[in-house]
């Protein structure tokens, strides 16, 4: 199949099927962050069964909205990561998942640099977004690189001809190699780039393929609102919205394969 993802010369090095009674804390962190921490987002990330739990072999991340006696809304959600527990350089990263529908939701599956200071903090340290989907445009998926100073960005998108990412589960994959990064949906390539750069706040230019040449960790989260996706409105359903993940897998080149640091 043309432009199909190939696992030839790869071996499975990390697999999470979310089939326990609770999230495995030896593998995953449940992160805590205040509202507005990044991107003008509304949610507080909390450690609660209400926002992050396992059920029927799936990870479920739910957004929660509450209102106080003055009519002011507040929002909670979930974000998990493998930082300092499982960190990776190069390989195939994939998750099978279904996203929530609703204006202002931004579910994501992505990679963040383990050592953010190596190339001068974000965005110079590098970020790879494997999947982001707007809650009010759930037929379109985005894959994005962030890098450099001034902030550089490379982004691809794909739109389903039939179906919806909020209706059925789909496989989102990324193939990260030293000089090329490729994005796939259901095993089919939709974006590839070999262009990025690394310049830090002091103006120091680091040689290519920096910053995408050192370890990164996995993140799954559901943001509520933000500068890019927009904000919830009266149509946003908080009663049934769920970001559901069936599994996460990481493959790396077998020993002797063509991959160099």
Classify strands 87-88 and 64-67 as parallel, antiparallel or unpaired.
unpaired
Residue of 132, 167, 192, 215 marked active site: 132
Do residues 127 and 146 touch, judged by C-beta distance below 8 A?
Answer: yes
Residue of 127, 175, 215, 234 marked active site: 127
4, 6, 189 from 1: Cα distances, Å: 5, 10, 11
Q: How distant is the alpha carbon of residue 29 from its chain centre?
A: 15
Classify 174 as helix, strand or coil. Answer: strand
Do residues 228 and 39 touch, judged by C-beta distance below 8 A?
Answer: yes
Strands of 43-45's sheet in order across: 43-45, 73-77, 64-67
Residue with tokens 């160099």: 260
Active site residue 177: no
Active site residue 127: yes
What does the radius of gyration of the chain's CA atoms come to, in whole angstroms? 18
Do residues 108 and 43 touch, judged by C-beta distance below 8 A?
Answer: no
Classify 17 as helix, strand or coil. Answer: coil
Pair of tokens at residue 203: 């103006």
Do residues 181 and 175 touch, judged by C-beta distance below 8 A?
Answer: yes
Q: Whole-angstrom distance between the N-terminal and C-terminal Cα of the chain?
A: 29
Phi-psi region of 113 (alpha: psi -120 to 50; beta: other; left: phi over 0): beta
Catalytic residues: 127, 132
């Amino acid at each position: 199949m043309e432009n199909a993802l190939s696992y030839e010369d790869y071996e499975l090095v990390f697999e999470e099927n979310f089939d326990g009674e609770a999230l495995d804390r030896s593998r995953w962190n449940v992160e805590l962050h205040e509202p507005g921490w990044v991107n003008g987002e509304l949610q507080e990330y909390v450690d609660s069964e209400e926002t992050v739990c396992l059920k029927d072999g799936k990870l479920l991340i739910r957004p929660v909205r509450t209102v106080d006696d003055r009519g002011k809304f507040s929002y909670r959600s979930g974000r998990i990561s493998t930082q300092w527990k499982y960190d990776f350089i190069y390989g195939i990263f994939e998750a099978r998942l279904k996203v929530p529908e609703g204006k202002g939701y931004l579910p994501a599956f992505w990679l963040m640099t383990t050592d953010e200071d190596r190339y001068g903090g974000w965005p110079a340290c590098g970020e790879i977004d494997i999947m982001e989907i707007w809650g009010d445009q759930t037929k379109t998926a985005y894959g994005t690189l962030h890098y450099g100073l001034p902030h550089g960005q490379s982004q691809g998108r794909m739109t389903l001809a039939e179906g919806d990412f909020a209706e059925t589960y789909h496989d989102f994959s990324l193939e990260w190699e030293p000089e090329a990064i490729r994005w796939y949906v259901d095993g089919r390539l939709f974006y590839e780039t070999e262009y990025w750069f690394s310049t830090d706040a002091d103006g120091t230019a680091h040689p290519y393929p920096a910053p995408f040449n050192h370890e990164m960790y996995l993140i799954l989260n559901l943001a509520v609102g933000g500068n890019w996706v927009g904000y919830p409105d009266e149509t946003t359903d908080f009663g049934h919205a769920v970001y559901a993940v069936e599994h996460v897998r990481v493959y790396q080149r077998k020993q002797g394969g063509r991959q160099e640091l």
